[in-house]
């Protein structure tokens, strides 16, 4: 009998501490952090079945701003289903990222995005911004908060944020040198970046004779080799999807010539991309990791090395070059 | 002669006692228990027609004639449908029982698609006959006992002496001998005496009306108890796995039936855990389900005035009331009850905003899963655990479900039936019995836990 009373009292006194009735929970799908007039301003979009709700809060720091937003809402904000976090150029990204890392009530599968438009959530109030961004980025550029926080804890790689325009489209990426934003990279650079990340949803456009050739990459394998210089070896299997050149190359030699055009074009683009990253001092490829693994020190960082790029492409689907 | 005055005085106000004098013989019988045709055939025709010899027993052609040595024995025979014949100082009993039982019918509580369609009835002899038709061996033994001071009900334990372990039989017989009650109406009442120390919700004694189940259990090394006036038999010892799979699994292809066996275990867990999981996820651990589903649940619960746990308890209790009324109410009205229940619970309650549609689905899944088990005791146990899980989940969420699961497993694992663990053959692991119960596979042996003779075929 005593045991039952003790168990019963233990349950009554210790239970229900995080009980939240579903009707009282506001499921936040996206948050925007902005910094104006020496204070943080947050805009939170709460998902609903038919329409969503947008709430704003202000405060001296991130935590205070979110608390105010929580108070202004008629529901208790829940960030377990967060899909997108927007930051504007004025925000100190370190404050935001460290707050999100420390908060145990936040999941880590949302996307962190860079935007110049502080009203992006309010302007798209009719749709669920978080859901739309989530669906788009999952297929385009799957780089979640989990990946960002891994980069933060690893000194040998820098993180980047996708740049979103006011119509919720990707404009490019913003590489960061530690917590400092650098020069943004455009969509062409993003394409090369995806090839270097072994993303097969990439393409290459190359000048071929007096026309253009566009190839889709069906399979890519990029390897980094550290020696006296950094060797980037890219093996690709491609298929031609657009071909408006007057060069008619149907035989084996002709195909080899096309492949060499693709190789040289890709090498050039990768070289330009690496130079841009070096100028920004943003090692988003994590080349320092390979150097450290090889040499067990970073006496020479990735910026000090020369780069040798070898691209070996194979056209496995000839497509439009045949009449 | 000494018995006559005792009978007359003891049965003074018993109006169905018939007293007859045929020549020098005195006949006593209870006409409500005796068949008049048999009395005429075995006694009256012969005693009237022929001259009575010195030893009347030689004249009477009855197939079952017993000598009476004491008044106590006389009363027993008289009250069991025998005709008492008193010839001077000698007395004997002739069986002239009337057939007051129904015919052998199909099983009502354990129907199957394939397999035998006969079942036990209230006649002890018939039941014994149905069992002996399936096990034609002199090794099938039965020990008889009389239980109840007033009812004097015949109870018998059956076992195959070359298979069963003697200590089990001894223990069961001992318990039956020690029963001291006024009367017993059904074999279910014996369960209390045979399993006295049990505070566990789950039953440890299986009840069946199927002779094929009984014969299978006997061949496994279990003990069967049958009782006069009861159409059921008890199987001891019984484990959790025995209650889950029906006998029809033995009559179907193993490759097909193994999927169903796994499904039944899954349904056992589903019927216990589903409401608790729903409460844990919607009130504590919102992060565990996809966002779209969560928003859907939220939208459904908008108009409901009660907290989720209250809504769940109301719905479960209403369904239990419906199930109980379905059992009690005469079958001819059964369909009306089902319609009423469906309308009340389904359409009307949701329209009125008392409960959400998702709660109907949760409770429906719970109850449909529990209907896989035909044993009422198992369903009662599942219900009890369901509420325990629900209450703990309402306090601690998914952590509480985990805690409750640990309590559930440890409760079952520590439960014993006749010194054998209830979770046998899962714990302790026994491949032989697993091949009989959990998965249907070719099996040439008997379990060591149940039988002293593990190789099939040996006598």
Write the DSSP assignment of A185-228 as a string of letters.
B-HHHHHHHHHHTT-SS-EEEEEETTEEEEEEEEEEEEEEEESS
- The residue out of B186, B211, B238 marking a domain boundary is B238
Q: Mark out the alpha helices in B329-375 (DSSP H runs).
A: 334-342, 349-351, 357-370
pLDDT tens series, chain B, 459 aa: 678 888 888 888 888 888 888 888 888 988 888 888 888 888 877 777 667 777 777 777 777 888 888 888 888 888 888 889 888 888 888 888 887 778 888 888 888 888 888 899 998 888 999 999 999 988 999 999 999 988 889 999 999 989 999 999 999 999 999 898 898 888 888 888 888 767 789 999 999 999 999 999 999 999 999 998 899 999 999 999 999 888 888 888 888 888 988 899 999 999 999 999 999 999 999 999 999 999 999 998 888 888 999 999 999 998 888 888 887 877 666 666 677 777 677 788 888 888 899 999 999 999 999 988 888 889 999 999 999 999 999 999 999 999 999 999 999 999 988 888 999 888 888 888 888 888 888 878 888 888 877 777 655
* Residue A209 preceded by cis peptide, ω within 30: no
Residues B302 and B397 in one domain: yes
Q: How far is A194 from A220, CA to CA, in rounded Å?
A: 10
Q: Residue A170 in contact with residue A163, Cβ under 8 Å?
A: yes
Residues of B in contact with A83 (CB under 8 A): 291
CB contact (8 A) between residue A21 and residue B286: no
C-alpha A165/C-alpha A168 separation (Å) is 5
Q: Out of A19, A81, A83, whose CB is closest to B283?
A: A19
Q: How far is B402 from chain A (nearest CA, A)?
A: 14
Q: Residue B304's closest chain A neighbor by CA?
A: A23
Nearest neighbour of B308 by CB, restricted to A22, A29, A81: A22
CA–CA separation, A205 and A244 (whole Å)? 12
B232 lies in a domain? yes
Q: Which of A44, A117, A35, A125 is nearest to A85 (CA)?
A: A44
State residue B412 phi and psi, 5-degree precision. Answer: -70, -40
Query: Looking at the domain assignment, is residue B433 inside a domain?
Result: no
Say yes or no: B287 and B392 in one domain. yes
Residue window 51-80, chain A: list those with CB within 8 Å of chain B.
Answer: 78, 80
Interface test mutation site (partner A, options B300, B306, B395, max chain A beta carbons within 10 A): B395
CA distances from A208 to A97, A246, B154, B302 (A): 45, 9, 103, 62
Asked if A8 reaches chain B (Cβ–Cβ under 8 Å), the answer is no
- Work out the minimum CA distance from A75 to partner chain B, whole angstroms: 12
CA distance A117 to chain B (A): 26
The whole-number average pLDDT for the span A184-205 is 88
Residues of A in contact with B388 (CB under 8 A): none
Residues B64 and B22 in one domain: yes
- The token duo for B446 is 């008997």
**B324 and B204 within one domain:** no
Tally helices (H) and strands (E) across chain A.
9, 13
Is A48 in Cβ contact with B299 (below 8 Å)? yes
Q: What is the DSSP string of B433-446?
A: HHHHTTS-----B-
> Using the beta-carbon criterion (under 8 Å), do A81 and B294 form an inter-chain contact?
yes
| Chain-chain contact of A25 with B396 (C-beta, under 8 angstroms) | no
| Three-class DSSP category at A174 | strand
**CB-based contacts of B34, cutoff 8 Å, min separation 6:** B81, B82, B83, B96, B97, B98
Give the pLDDT score at B403: 92
Q: Measured between alpha carbons, how far is A52 from A56 in angstroms, rounded to an integer? A: 14
In a domain, B335, yes or no: yes
Is the ipTM here above 0.95?
no
Chain B residue with CA closest to A108: the answer is B287
At A308, list the tokens. 């040798």
Instruction: Provide the pLDDT for residue B316.
Output: 92
pLDDT the model gives residue A84: 95
Check residue A34 and give its pLDDT. Answer: 94
**Which residues in chain B are contacts of A47 at CB distance < 8 A?**
291, 295
**Is B23 part of a structural domain of the chain?**
yes
**What is the secondary structure of B86-146 as a DSSP string?**
EETTEEEEEE-B---SPPP---SSS--SSS------S-HHHHHHHHHHH---TTEEEEEEE
Confidence grade of residue A250 (pLDDT, cut at 50, 70, 90) = low
Residue labelled with tokens 């394409």: A191
Find the CB nearest A23 among B291, B296, B301.
B301
Give A-chain residues touching B397 at CB under 8 angstroms.
18-19
Q: Out of B301, B304, B395, whose CB is closest to A16?
A: B395
Q: Rounded to 5 degrees, what are φ and ψ at B404? A: -60, -35
End-to-end Cα separation, chain A, in angstroms: 90
Residues B322 and B343 in one domain: yes
Gap between the Cα atoms of B452 and B221, Å rounded = 8
Q: Which residues does B324 contact at the CB level (< 8 Å), separation at least 6?
A: none
Q: Do B298 and A22 touch (CB under 8 A)?
A: yes
State residue A90's pLDDT score: 93
Q: What is the predicted pLDDT for the residue at A318?
A: 67
pLDDT band at A243; cut points 50, 70, 90: confident
Give yes or no: residues B91 and B151 share one domain: no
Q: What is the pLDDT of residue B217?
A: 93
Q: Cα-flanking dihedrals φ and ψ of residue A259, to 5°?
A: -65, -40
The whole-number pLDDT of residue B334 equals: 61
**Are the C-beta atoms of residues B425 and B239 closer than 8 Å to each other?**
yes
Per-residue model confidence (pLDDT) at position B37: 86
Residues of B in contact with A22 (CB under 8 A): 282-283, 286, 294, 297-298, 301, 308
Q: Which of chain A's residues have a Cβ under 8 Å away from the Cβ of B396?
A: 11, 15-16
> What is the residue range of B150's domain?
124-238
Report the C-alpha dihedral over residues A80, A84, A89, A92, rounded to 10 degrees: 20
B285 and B381 assigned to the same domain: yes
Q: Count other C-beta atoms under 10 Å from residue A204's C-beta.
A: 22
Domain boundary (B209, B238, B267) is at B238
Quote the number of domains for chain B.
3
Q: Does A41 touch chain B (CB under 8 A)?
A: no
Q: CA of B272 to nearest chain A CA: how many angstroms apart?
A: 20
Separation CA B308–CA B139 (nearest Å): 59
A16 at interface of B, judged by CB pairs closer than 8 A:
yes
Three-point CA angle B125, B127, B132, nearest 5° = 90
- Under the phi-then-psi rule, with left for phi > 0, alpha for psi from -120 to 50, and beta for the rest, what region is B220? alpha
d(C-alpha B147, C-alpha B173), whole Å: 12
Residues B288 and B368 in one domain: yes
Contact B301 A22 (CB under 8 A): yes
CB within 8 Å: A22 and B282: yes
- Smallest Cβ distance to B291: which of A11, A47, A50? A47
Strands, E, within B237-277: which ranges? none
Instruction: Inspect the interface and report whether the beta carbons of A21 and B395 lie closer than 8 Å.
Output: no
A155, A137 Cβ separation under 8 angstroms: no
Q: Which of A18, A23, A107 sits opposite B298 (nearest CB)?
A: A23
Task: Work out the angle between the directed axes of helices B254-283 and B357-370 (0-180°, nearest 10).
Answer: 150
pLDDT, position A222? 93
CB pairs under 8 A between A and B: 64
Verify that B267 and B155 share a domain, yes or no: no
Interface touch B395/A27, C-beta < 8 Å: no
Q: Residues of A with CB below 8 A from B282's CB? A: 22
- Residue in chain B nearest A105 by alpha carbon: B287
Instruction: Say which of B291, B302, B392 has its CB closest to residue A81.
Output: B291
Which element (helix H / strand E) includes B55? none
B229, B322: one domain: no
Among candidates B269, B204, B200, B270, which has minimal Cα distance to B234?
B204
Chain B residues with CB under 8 Å of A13 CB are: none
Q: Which residue among B191, B217, B238 closes a domain?
A: B238
Q: Which residues of A154-174 are buried (b: 16+ CB within 10 A; e: fewer)?
A: eebbbbbbbbbeeebebbbbb
Stretch 114-153 of chain A: residues touching chain B, C-beta under 8 Å: 131
Tell me, yes or no, whether B266 and B412 share the same domain. yes
Q: What is the pLDDT of residue B458?
A: 55
**Angle B432-B201-B230 from CA coordinates, rounded to 5°:** 80
Residue A104 forms contact with B (CB below 8 Å): no
A contacts of B284 (beta carbons < 8 Å) = 18-20
Using the Cα atoms of residue B354, residue B359, residue B364 and residue B367 in order, give the sign of their dihedral: negative
Which residues does B contribute to its contact with A (CB < 8 Å)? 282-284, 286-287, 291, 294-299, 301-302, 304, 307-308, 392, 394-397, 400
What count of Cα atoms within 13 Å lies in the side-chain half-sphere of residue B441?
9
Q: How confident is the model at residue A147, as a pLDDT?
A: 93
pLDDT for the residue A4: 83
Shortest Cα–Cα distance, B359 to chain A (Å): 13
B394/B270 same-domain check = yes
Nearest CA-CA distance, residue B307 and chain A, Å:
7
Query: What local confidence, expressed as pLDDT, does residue B330 receive?
Result: 72
ω into B428 cis (within 30 of 0): yes
**C-alpha distance from residue B152 to each of A79, A107, A150, A275, B75 (Å):** 71, 71, 80, 103, 11
How many Å lie between the alpha carbon of A109 and the closest alpha carbon of chain B?
A: 12
Work out the number of other CB atoms within 10 angstroms of the CB of residue A103.
12
Q: Chain A: residue nearest B399 by CA? A: A15
């Amino acid at each position: 009998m005593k045991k039952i009373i003790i168990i019963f009292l233990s349950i009554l006194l210790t239970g229900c501490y995080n009980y939240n009735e579903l009707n009282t929970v506001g499921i936040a799908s996206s948050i925007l952090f902005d910094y104006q007039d020496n204070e943080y301003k947050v805009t939170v979009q709460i998902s609903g079945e038919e329409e969503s709700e947008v709430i704003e809060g202000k405060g001296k720091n991130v935590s205070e701003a979110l608390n105010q937003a929580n108070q202004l809402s008629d529901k208790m904000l829940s960030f377990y289903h967060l899909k997108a976090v927007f930051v504007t150029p004025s925000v100190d990204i370190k404050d935001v990222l460290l707050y999100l890392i420390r908060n145990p009530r936040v999941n880590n599968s949302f996307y962190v995005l860079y935007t110049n438009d502080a009203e992006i959530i309010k302007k798209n109030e009719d749709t669920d911004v978080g859901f739309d961004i989530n669906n788009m980025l999952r297929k385009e550029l799957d780089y979640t908060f989990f990946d960002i926080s891994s980069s933060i804890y690893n000194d040998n790689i820098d993180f980047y944020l996708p740049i979103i325009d006011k119509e919720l489209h990707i404009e490019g990426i913003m590489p960061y040198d530690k917590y400092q934003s650098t020069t943004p990279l455009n969509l062409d650079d993003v394409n090369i970046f995806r090839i270097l990340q072994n993303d097969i949803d990439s393409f290459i456009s190359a000048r071929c004779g007096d026309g253009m050739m566009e190839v889709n990459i069906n399979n890519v394998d990029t390897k980094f080799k550290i020696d006296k210089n950094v060797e980037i070896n890219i093996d690709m299997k491609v298929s031609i999807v657009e071909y408006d050149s007057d060069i008619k190359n149907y035989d084996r030699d002709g195909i080899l010539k096309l492949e060499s055009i693709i190789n040289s074009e890709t090498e050039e683009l990768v070289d330009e991309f690496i130079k841009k990253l070096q100028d920004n001092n943003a090692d988003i490829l994590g080349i320092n990791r390979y150097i450290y693994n090889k040499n067990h020190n970073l006496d020479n960082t990735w910026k000090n090395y020369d780069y040798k790029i070898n691209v070996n492409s194979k056209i496995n689907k000839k497509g439009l070059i045949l009449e | 002669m000494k018995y006559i005055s005792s009978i007359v005085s003891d049965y003074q106000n018993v109006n169905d006692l018939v007293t007859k004098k045929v020549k020098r013989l005195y006949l006593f019988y209870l006409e409500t228990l005796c068949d008049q045709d048999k009395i005429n055939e075995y006694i009256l025709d012969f005693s009237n027609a022929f001259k009575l010899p010195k030893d009347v027993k030689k004249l009477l052609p009855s197939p079952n004639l017993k000598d009476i040595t004491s008044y106590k024995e006389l009363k027993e025979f008289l009250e069991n449908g025998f005709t008492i014949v008193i010839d001077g100082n000698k007395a004997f009993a002739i069986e002239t029982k009337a057939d007051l039982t129904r015919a052998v019918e199909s099983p009502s509580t354990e129907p199957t698609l394939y397999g035998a369609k006969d079942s036990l009835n209230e006649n002890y002899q018939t039941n014994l006959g149905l069992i002996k038709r399936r096990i034609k061996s002199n090794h099938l033994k039965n020990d008889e006992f009389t239980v109840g001071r007033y009812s004097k009900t015949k109870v018998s334990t059956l076992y195959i002496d070359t298979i069963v372990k003697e200590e089990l039989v001894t223990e069961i017989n001992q318990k039956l001998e020690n029963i001291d009650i006024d009367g017993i109406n059904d074999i279910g009442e014996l369960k209390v005496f045979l399993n006295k120390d049990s505070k566990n919700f789950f039953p440890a004694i299986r009840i069946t009306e199927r002779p094929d189940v009984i014969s299978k259990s006997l061949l496994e090394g279990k003990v069967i108890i049958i009782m006069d006036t009861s159409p059921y038999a008890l199987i001891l010892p019984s484990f959790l796995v025995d209650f889950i799979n029906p006998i029809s699994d033995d009559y179907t292809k193993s490759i097909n039936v193994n999927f169903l066996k796994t499904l039944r275990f899954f349904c056992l867990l589903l019927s216990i855990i589903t409401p608790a999981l729903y409460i844990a996820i919607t009130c504590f651990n919102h992060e565990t389900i996809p966002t779209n589903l969560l928003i859907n649940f939220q939208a459904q619960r908008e108009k409901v005035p009660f907290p989720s746990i209250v809504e769940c308890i109301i719905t479960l209790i209403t369904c239990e009331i419906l199930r109980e009324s379905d059992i009690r109410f005469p079958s001819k009205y059964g369909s009306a009850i089902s319609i009423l229940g469906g309308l009340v619970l389904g359409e009307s309650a949701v329209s009125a905003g008392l409960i959400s549609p998702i709660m109907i689905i949760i409770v429906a899944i719970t109850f449909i899963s529990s209907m896989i088990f035909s044993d009422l005791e198992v369903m009662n146990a599942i219900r009890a655990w369901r509420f325990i899980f629900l209450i703990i989940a309402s306090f601690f969420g998914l952590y509480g479900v985990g805690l409750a699961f640990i309590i559930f497993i440890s409760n079952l694992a520590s439960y014993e039936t006749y010194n054998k663990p209830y979770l046998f053959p899962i714990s302790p692991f026994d491949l032989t019995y697993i091949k009989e119960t959990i998965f249907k596979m070719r099996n040439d042996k008997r379990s060591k836990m149940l039988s002293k003779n593990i190789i099939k075929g040996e006598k």
